Chain A
């Protein structure tokens, strides 16, 4: 079974520092997503990415966030200047092209702790 992998599994950073969360999506998938889940809260959509550009972003995804697919395999989420409230579990996902067997795969998540 193919899988989406995320690294690191846990990252601790100081407030104001930049962090990059990494994801390796399924190789033939075309759509990529980032979600986050603040502890004890629901899973929130951040951004979707297709054809090397952002398809949609939520109001959470402000100027301190950016995404990139730098080398055709990795999909990264950068937070420029982290705040305490950015502490959350961040999930990456990818989905297959449209068709009968559309499915989405999620990574195991990166737990970001901002101190």
Chain B
């Protein structure tokens, strides 16, 4: 069985300050992990993905995430928030091997305060 837990449903940061969106997972198989962003009334856009290569993954728009197997975490970070980062962010897990089910976290809504 697998699950994804996004620890914060809402995160509020000031523009120019760091962003940390937390994600923990559990998976019976070595997983691939993704972060997707959804702007209001828009579809899902892939920010970055981890697929068993480097544990520190860089994505678009200055975001990065670090896969920590010992902590079963895949937190998303950005050094300096921009107003355009305000959106909902989803952590997604996909196990490798065997039956694959894409599992979504419940989402974290990021608010950026000017």
CB < 8 Å: which of B43, B99, B102, B106 contacts A50?
Answer: B99
Closest to A3 in B: B46
Q: A89-B43, A91-B44, A106-B36 are in contact. Are A33 and B102 (CB under 8 A)?
A: yes
Do residues A104 and B107 form an inter-chain contact, with CB atoms below 8 A? no
Mark contacts of A90-111 with chain B using CB atoms, 8 A cut-off: 1 yes-contact digit, 0 otherwise: 0101010011111111111100
Total number of B residues with any Cβ neighbor in A under 8 Å: 25
* Interface assignment of A75: CB less than 8 Å from any CB of chain B: no
Q: Is A76 an interface residue (CB 8 A)?
A: no
Contact of B103 among A45, A98, A103 (CB under 8 A): A45
Question: A interface, by DSSP: helix, strand, loop or mixed?
Answer: strand
A55 contacts B by Cβ under 8 Å: yes
Bitwise, B41-52 to A at CB < 8 A (1) or not (0) is 011101001011
A55 to B51, CA, bound (A): 23
Is A18 among interface residues, defined by CB-CB distance under 8 A? no
Q: A-contacting residues of B (Cβ < 8 Å)? A: 32, 34, 36, 42-44, 46, 49, 51-52, 90, 92, 94-104, 106-107
Q: Beyond A31-B100, A42-B107, A95-B100: 12 further Cβ-contacts under 8 Å? A: A42-B104, A43-B107, A45-B102, A45-B103, A93-B102, A95-B94, A102-B32, A103-B32, A103-B51, A105-B46, A108-B43, A109-B44
| Interface residues of A, Cβ cutoff 8 Å to B | 31, 33, 35, 42-43, 45, 48, 50, 55-56, 89, 91, 93, 95, 98-109
